[in-house]
Amino acid sequence: MEFASRISKLKESATFKYSAMAKREGIIDLTIGRTNFDTPMVIKEAAKKALDEGKVHYTPTRGIPELREKIVEKLRDENSISDLDKERVIVSTGAKQIILEAVMALINENDPVAIPDPSWVSYESIVKFSGGKIIWLPLSAENGFIPDEKFFSVFENSNSRLIFLNSPNNPTGAVYPKKVIRSIVDIAERRDSWIISDEIYEKLIYEGKHFSAGSIYPKCIVVNGFSKEFSMTGWRLGYAACSEKELIDKMNLIQGQSVSCATSFAQYGALAAFTEEAKKETEKMRDELKKRRDYLMKRLNEMDVLCIKPKGAFYTFPSLGEIDDIKFSDRLLENGVAVIPGSPFGSSGKGCVRMSYGAASIEELKNAMDKMRDIK
Ligand code: PMP
Ligand code: GLU
């Protein structure tokens, strides 16, 4: 059968592929990036109320104004991004859709786009789908996957129209220091590049502080969402903000001709995510995730692997040396533990595996690490 040539540029998402493989009786699943916490009750109640009140119709394409107002306040108060208003915010069906819209609105055939290596799998696929040319920016396990001089120099010389920034990071858990983010912004400014700053793990930081590139650079598209912070991956709700209103307008054009708008009652539910009650639930979840991270690090440190303690998100990305990470992950799965091999995240991920501790108890992590130790 013949299909449009563009579809051949899209690869299957490795995260979903390995997650599907893990769905078998008796498998300890450390694959997909989600937590095993429930969405805070206050958010669920708000969504139920919206359904009961008949809020079941289309909303404005860029999202209900009340929610966009809340997002403007949040970005001003928590991230020091002051030059926004609700026309500079767009709500969509997840941060992934938002990133697709931004890339489709900005990138022409063969435009260079800088992506840290390794990175979350969807950046590469979305950029290839848009026709953009990927410039990989190398990161190393030795430096805890924090951008260094080599990374800056490849970016500086790449003439990239756009760079992806993601701190706290998927797949490495790295949290970039403010100084590093400033250096990236300095280069972007000199080169007149756009930045997509994917801040979806912002509230899952165990040491250090979050700093948004959006607070110092107008050509930064700040991407965030509800999936991770409030355990709402199935609600499909994310957002972007940018002080360059024209870009948000272009993304909204794509939205109006594709998904139309995000789900109405999900948006009303999300209004309650800005309450103290919901924020407290995130804090509780973060405390539990930190315990899991500490346990996993203790076990990894006892093994012969290279893994600098990740300060955020809910992933560890140990480097296991000269192994074939795909074969190793398959072998681990045969032994009852599902992880994601490192190479689908980029060539610097070769020899690594990504382990998500978002949805596994300490008991499960213990069993998983015992099995990993036995087969390594
Ligand atoms: N960015 C990163 C770094 C992610 O790990 C994910 C995965 N959830 C997303 C964006 C997309 O999130 P969602 O579409 O669920 O809002
Ligand atoms: N972002 C999560 C992950 O990396 C969820 C799956 C996806 O969207 O890729 O596992």
The reply to whether ligand 2 has any atom less than 6 angstroms from the CB of 19 is: no
DSSP-based three-state secondary structure for 309: coil
Ligand sitting nearest the alpha carbon of 100: 1
The owner of tokens 């108060």 is 77
Kindly state whether residues 329 and 243 are assigned to the same domain: no
Domain at 287, CATH number: 3.90.1150.10
Do 130 and 210 lie in a common domain? yes
Specify the pairing of strand 112-117 against strand 89-92.
unpaired
Answer yes or no: do 251 and 322 share one domain. Answer: no
Whether residues 123 and 188 fall in one domain: yes
- Checking if the pLDDT of 336 tops 90, the result is yes
Reply yes or no on whether the pLDDT at 58 is more than 80: yes
- Mean pLDDT computed over 309-321: 97
**81: domain CATH number?**
3.40.640.10
- For residue 290, the model assigns a pLDDT of 98
User: Average pLDDT of the chain?
Assistant: 97
Same domain, 193 and 93: yes
Do residues 263 and 289 make contact, with C-beta atoms less than 8 angstroms apart?
no
| 167 close to ligand 1 (CB < 6 Angstrom) | no
59 and 87 inside one domain: yes
Phi/psi for 293 (5° steps) reads -60, -45
As a whole number, mean pLDDT of residues 46-68 equals 98
Q: Give residue 325's pLDDT.
A: 97
Going by CA atoms, what residue is nearest to atom 3 of ligand 2?
Answer: 33
Q: How far is CA 368 from the centre of its chain?
A: 24
Closest ligand to residue 340's CA: 2
Final residue of a structural domain among 256, 275, 294: 275
Statement to judge: residues 311 and 176 lie in one domain: no
Range(s) of the domain holding residue 239 = 42-275
Residue from 163, 97, 95 nearest 132 by CA: 163
The structural domain count of the chain equals 2
What pLDDT does 236 receive? 98
The span from the CA of 336 to the CA of 331, in Å, is: 9
Confidence of residue 360 (pLDDT cuts 50, 70, 90): very high
Whether 314 is in the pocket of ligand 2, judged by its Cβ within 6 Å, is no
Q: Which of 293, 317, 318 is nearest to 305 (CA)?
A: 318
Which of 227, 259, 275 is where one domain is finished?
Answer: 275
Pair 180, 289 in one domain? no
Same domain, 246 and 155: yes
Q: Whose CA is nearest to atom 1 of ligand 2?
A: 33
Same domain, residue pair 155 and 265: yes
pTM of this prediction exceeds 0.95? yes
pLDDT the model gives residue 304: 82
Indicate if ligand 1 lies below 6 Å from the C-beta of 225: yes
Contact present, 42 and 278 (Cβ < 8 Å): yes
Domain final position from 241, 275, 309: 275
Q: What is the rounded distance in angstroms from the CA atom of residue 176 to the CA atom of residue 27?
A: 33
Q: How far is the CA of 15 from the centre of ligand 1 (A)?
A: 11
Average pLDDT over residues 166-188: 98
- Indicate whether 22 and 100 sit together in one domain: no
Q: Are residues 112 and 243 in the same domain?
A: yes
Long-range contacts: 74-79, Cβ < 8 Å, 24+? Answer: 74/274, 75/212, 75/214, 75/222, 75/241, 79/199, 79/210, 79/212, 79/214, 79/215, 79/222
- Ligand 2, closest atom to CA 19? 10
Percentage of the chain lying above the pLDDT 90 cut: 98
Residue nearest to atom 10 of ligand 2 (CA): 33
Rounding to the nearest 10 degrees, give the CA dihedral for residues 142, 148, 149, 151: 100
